[in-house]
Amino acid sequence: MKQALLSLTLMMGLAFAAPVTLPNLPVTVEPNAKLAELNQSFLQSAFPNPATRPAYVFITEDRKVTVAFEWRESRLAATEIEGLVAQFPAVIRSQVTGIKSLKANLMQFGGGSWAQFVFTTPGKGDDQRRELLVTSAGNRMLVVTISGNVKDYSRNEAVVRNLANSIRVN
């Protein structure tokens, strides 16, 4: 266990408080010292399939909540985001088993409209919480996924929300 934690620590780079443009993504964020970034080597080993690998991932200091960034090839125009809020919950329900709760909202931040989907599923010891933030960037789908269990998210909510609220689409 100690060896695994040491290995994970070595694979992570500390995130800094200054605005950072994420490599290969049209996104700028303002991380803080309570977040670390998982390096590409770690992402490649954790997500061997490039099609399902996030481009960039931050993790909370307690290593319990992740914030992953993906710029998908799927087309999404800015004018389609509101419709996504109405349509995508059915897709989530068809693809994710055991959903206990699901909320969909249209939000404004980072200079544009975002679809927000928050859902919980049963987990060992605590429910799992997933939040998908979806917007259009270059007419492609930009997805930010916040993952953790409910209790861990609650403990890390301020740090995660600060990061999410700092997202700017370039």
Evaluate whether residue 12 is within a structural domain: no
Provide the CATH number for the domain around residue 146. Answer: 3.40.1000.10
Evaluate whether residue 15 is within a structural domain: no
* Full residue range of the structural domain in which residue 157 is found: 26-169
Evaluate whether residue 5 is within a structural domain: no
The neighbour count for residue 146, using CB atoms within 10 Å, is 23
Evaluate whether residue 18 is within a structural domain: no
**pTM of the full predicted structure?**
0.87
The closest alpha carbon to 63, from 90, 38, 89, 92, belongs to 38
Q: What is the pLDDT along the chain (170 residues), one digit of tens a residue?
A: 333 433 444 344 444 457 888 988 999 999 888 999 998 898 888 888 888 889 999 999 999 999 999 999 999 999 999 999 999 999 999 999 999 999 999 999 888 999 999 999 999 889 999 999 999 999 999 999 999 999 999 999 999 999 999 999 98
- Number of domains into which the chain is organized: 1
Evaluate whether residue 148 is within a structural domain: yes
